[in-house]
Amino acid sequence: MLGAGSKVVATQKVHTNGNVQTTSNSLDMMIEGDGFFQILMPDGNIAYSRNGQFTLDDEGAIVTSGAGYRLQPEIIIPEDAISITIGNDGEVSVRVRGQQDNQVLGQITTVDFINPGGLEPVGQNLYLPTGASGEPQEGVPGLDGLGDIRQSMLETSNVNVTEELVNMIEAQRVYEMNSKVISAVDKMMSFVNQQL
């Protein structure tokens, strides 16, 4: 027997930084470096995401775009806020009408894992911890190995399409060469069997 073929055992997500896209939304955030945002799921569990595209719900809470899940720790933006500032360390402050100074509302914390590749995807760019990922290690962005937060920026895909197409073409050529080798070996074995 020459071989039994191969099959995919598992795929793995790579959580390295992608390209940077600047936006006009002051609630958009990107983690520059390691870390995940904490998102409260409807079932009460905390999920984790690198997707920093946020908006406000009807109560002024910062929520994920689309699903509307609340960012944790929860921060409520007052209705009369005229500007929102999110520092590199995750400190959220607003300026409200009639006041000159910013008012600090809270602190966004991020988490990291010993093995982010072990996180279980649950859809909508959200992940749950597993035994393979380890427990979440929460902290202030910019400290203890956690990345800084960049306001009005989003992280795009970390896949370089051109590079991956070149890799795919190379893999296809290697496959074709292996196929020709197997065919040649098969012909030689057939010839040897006929000579015996």
Q: What percent of the chain has pLDDT over 90?
A: 65
This prediction's pTM = 0.77
The domain total for the chain is: 2
> pLDDT, tens digit, for every residue of 99-146?
889 999 999 999 999 999 999 999 999 999 999 999 999 999 999 999
Using DSSP, state whether 166 is helix, strand or coil. helix
Inter-residue long-range contacts of 82-86, CB under 8 Å, 24+ positions, other chains counted: 83/26, 84/26, 84/27, 85/26, 85/151, 86/26, 86/27, 86/29, 86/149, 86/151
> pLDDT, tens digit, for every residue of 32-42?
999 999 999 99
Range of the domain at 62: 20-155
> Could you tell me if residue 3 is inside a domain?
no
Side chain identity, residue 64: T
Which band of pLDDT confidence, cut at 50, 70 and 90, is reported for residue 3? Answer: low
> Could you tell me if residue 8 is inside a domain?
no
